[in-house]
Amino acid sequence: MIEMVSKGLATLEVSLKHSGSLFMYAGHKGGAYAKNSFGNIYTAVGVFVLGRMFREAWGTEASKQQAEFNEFLERNHMCISMELVTAVLGDHGQRPNEDYAVVTAVTELGNGKPKFYSTPEIIAFCRKWRLPTNHVWLFSTRKSASSFFAAYDALCEEGTATTVCKALDEIADISIPGSKDHVRAQGEILEGLVARIVSCKSSKHMEKVLEEFHPPSADGVGLDFGPSLREICAENRSNEKQQIKALLDSVGSSFCPDHSDWFGPDGADVHSRNADRSVISKFLQAHPADYSTKKLQEMVRLMKEKRFPAAFKCYHNFQKVDAMARDNLFYRMVIHVHSDSAFRRYQKEMRLKPGLWPLYRGFFVDINLFKANKERSSEISMANENGVENGTSNSENDLADEDANLMVKLKFLTYKLRTFLIRNGLSILFKEGPGAYKAYFLRQMKIWGTSAGKQRELSKMLDEWAVYIRRKYGNRQLSSSIYLSEAEPFLEQFAKRSPQNQALVGSAGSLVRTEDFIAIVGEGQDEEGDLEAEKETATPRHTFSVTDTVPKQEGLIVFFPGIPGSAKSALCKELLNTPGGFGDDRPVHSLMGDLVKAKYWQKVADERRKKPYSIMLADKNAPNEEVWRQIEDMCHRTRASAIPVVTESEGTDSNPYSLDALAVFMFRVLQRVNHPGNLDKASPNAGYVLLMFYHLYDGKSRREFESELIERFGSIVKMPLLKSDRNPLPQPVQSILEEGINLYKLHTKRHGRLESTKGSYTKEWAAWEKQLREILFEHAEYLNTIQVPFEDSVKQVSEQLRNIAKGDYSPPDTEKRKLGTIVFAALSLPVTEIQGALKNLGANNPTVEAFLKGKHIESLNRAHVTLAHKRSHGIKAVADYGAFLHEKVPVELNALLFSDKMAAFEACPGFVQGEKIVSKNSWPHVTLWTAEGISAKEANTLPELLKQGKASRIDFNPPLTITGTVEFF
């Protein structure tokens, strides 16, 4: 991102991420939607909050403006997306002082492609209609954008709303305050920031909007609008339906004229709104009536074919009940993406198919399935043709702009402490005990890259929290929906003990009591996904860390995310027969998938319960996230750790296994005889089966594949397969594999999971299988010689497993951005050159030689010139050096100053990119030595000691020049 900004191609836009839920409001008779559903308590609360904010903004004109607003949205087919911040729907990061919403997106869903408003357009739209806006900062230069990321790194572990907003206001090129002050409305605990690349014209556009649209007045402040949200929820505690009705009645018909989304037509049973699952199939098979429908079908079809982790729910559209007929049906389809992996996979598809429209976490559409007569069919056909002619379907209307869809969420540790470490850990703490809870929160902090110091502080505090809450509640688990009633008082008392504790937990003690007014949410009915563990950020689920040690009282599951032919069964056999097992006294067992008739992973779980302290070799391919989740759950239920063993491979951009590896796997399978699973040379479709397994991994590069396994299970073992000095894959082998992949895609597109011996391509498959065997055996010598000897592979796997079992293991770097907190910026200097300069000085100057005697300068392990320290000079001072991070800078050493307690070089940094690097210290220097008990910062006093005659100075003529590097520490 920084590099793009440096070239002047784009502007970095940053906005606040509130501790709230996604809420959408559409103009279709006041339709309201939560992240992945509608017609429930969440959307009723959202409608009420939006209606109340409209009244506060427009005062006595509110009803008129509400009706105009609804009509405007419906006429222009618009949808408003908001962050709903409320205390009545359960605890999140912090209970807000006020219930409010902030507009985050505005979309026109008219003919052709949807139009997503830019941030300046959102500001203009919201100020016109007096809707609440977010706090936004724009960084339009390389320096300011670099400073932003440096500021976040400096604040990510202690930042609260006041310090973060102040720092960003100082750094940003443009700062637009939000309609609601976060500290006053929600509190100091800040969930995070959302950063994305926007057009380089955005700054000028924003300046123009701010000139034309001033912050709107609030004509309704002080007026009595009747009971508040919290009062209504408190007065209607008998049932959820009663709460919803009271909220909608209070909003009024001008804002929400139709309640059928919640209660159906004439109060019909709300459960009757669920439509048959076949609606999705009918929708995908229907002829699209317009270009937008065609693009939506394309998106849904791709997600279904690729088996993306997403839910597609359909409901009857009761708002259109009067228009329904046998040949004219109306539905609501809600699409909710469950996993971040879906977005990574989808973005790759967008690169291959630029016409794809982008994917969002949760969205909804109205569907009208109708049978068209000849006249209507002709109109539709003509409309589509005109759309193509008018450019509706050309590349200019495509939405696959990768940069425009880039977004990164940057969360703060004080929020994550409350939401992930405390709230999401409750079930583990109460069901599994303090040991499992400790493993969970240590694992989370390692995933986040939390600094070692904060890990130690948080571990101590969370251990204390576990004892406190277990002692108070015993075996009765604290509800996650009101956990802050216990957590905040605990955090407040903890913070009072020391300034260090206060910084650790952020703001604590300003607790809003919710027990009397929290909305009624059906058991297990978390439509928002916010009252349960936020799995994407808090992955993995309740697994036990193997990166510290694998406790001997726990079991171990070794499993194989691989492909048939990877030699896992042969490996398991060798591991069973290895003397000494895994280096401890736990028994080792193996369960071969091909010999298990029942459900395999259930069988593994049963064996785990019978032998909880054993090591289980799960001899079955575990190819996808569904299986990995089963293993995670098994670990949680049976107190075990899990270690994935994967065949080593370079992979491709979209698959963790290369064609070279696939060729070897196929070659091995086709040499088998009498395989227990009947996958051997006698199998007529062995090649197809291998391709099926190969495509189960489709969508993940090798780095993404390994990173996800490490994040979920804490470790990974790599089994060598191919020699690094091998010749390239022969062209005939590569061609036959590519032909098979293309045929597989054709087959699955038409027939799904139907076997290759059935369907439209049986002849093609038979010919391909025959040719595959011929080509692979023609190149048998090549395929045999490129493989690492099996004995070597077994040896390496055994060593890795032993190391993990005894805790002597550090997971490889998954190349994720490290978010350790920044304390200061400095020029890092090469220690050997500093030591060499001192040695030369001593050789030429008896005074220096005498001083250095017995000082053990050779033990100097770090040398730097401090540029700025966040506690002494402020966040902005440190962050400003972000533009020069890792740049080389010449540093002149002008003199040596020393006393009986310390010594330092006087330093003068030079220029980089034509700009002088200036230290914020009054005396830039390199500390060389301090006596025992003297801190390094005391070297700052050497100039004053020199004036007092208590220090000496030796000037260098000419100065010594050493090259340093700008770094953060």
**Which of 526, 546, 522 lies closest to 535, judged by CA?**
526
Q: How many helices (H) and strands (E) does the chain have?
A: 37, 26
The torsion of the CA quartet 954, 957, 961, 966, rounded to 10 degrees, works out to 50
CB atoms under 10 Å from CB of 853, counted, come to: 8
The residue assigned the tokens 């890792």 is 886
How far is CA 644 from each of CA 100, 601, 617, 800, rounded to the nearest angstrom? 45, 15, 10, 11
The residue with tokens 């339009």 is 140
The number of angstroms, rounded, from the C-alpha of 263 to the middle of its chain's C-alpha atoms is 36
Question: DSSP readout, 738-773?
Answer: HHHHHHHHHHHHHHTT--TTSSTTHHHHHHHHHHHH
- Phi then psi for residue 967, to 5 deg, are -140, 160
- Strand ordering across the sheet containing 136-139: 174-176, 136-139, 10-17, 192-199, 407-411
**Contact of 929 with 903, CB cutoff 8 Å:** yes
Q: How far apart are CA 495 and CA 237, in angstroms?
A: 35
Tokens of 620: 């079955």
CA distances from 535 to 338, 389, 530 (A): 9, 45, 10
Please identify which residue in the block is written with the tokens 């032998």: 611
Residue type, 410: L
Q: List, in order, residues 6 or more apart from 580 with CB less than 8 Å away.
A: none
Amino acid (1-letter code) at residue 275: A
> 3-state class of 186 per DSSP?
coil
Q: Is 374 a catalytic residue?
A: no
Catalytic residue among 17, 411, 454, 870: 17
Distance between CA atoms of 74 and 71, rounded to whole angstroms? Answer: 5
Phi then psi dihedrals of residue 801, to 5 deg: -65, -40
Instruction: Note every long-range contact of 33-36, with CB atoms under 8 Å and residues 24 or more positions apart, other chains counting.
Output: 33/334, 33/364, 34/362, 34/527, 34/528, 35/336, 35/361, 35/362, 35/527, 35/528, 35/529, 36/311, 36/313, 36/334, 36/335, 36/336, 36/362, 36/527, 36/528, 36/529
Find tokens 């009498």 and name the residue: 674
Angstrom distance (rounded) from CA 151 to CA 167: 7
Q: Are 298 and 311 in contact (CB under 8 A)?
A: no
Element (H, E) at 5: helix 2-6
226: left (phi over 0), alpha (psi -120 to 50) or beta: left
Cis peptide leading into 540, omega within 30 of 0? yes
Q: Which value, to the nearest 10 degrees, does the dihedral of the CA atoms of residues 205, 210, 213, 219 take?
A: 150
Per DSSP bridges, beta strands 362-370 and 407-411 are: unpaired
3-class SS of residue 224: coil
DSSP per-residue codes, 786-800: TBPPHHHHHHHHHHH
Beta-strand (E) ranges in 795-900?
824-829, 863-869, 888-898
Alpha-carbon span 153 to 967, nearest angstrom = 13
Burial class of 511 by CB neighbour count within 10 A (0 to 12, 13 to 18, 19+): middle
Q: Which residues is 193 bridged to in the sheet?
A: 16, 410
Catalytic residue annotation: 17
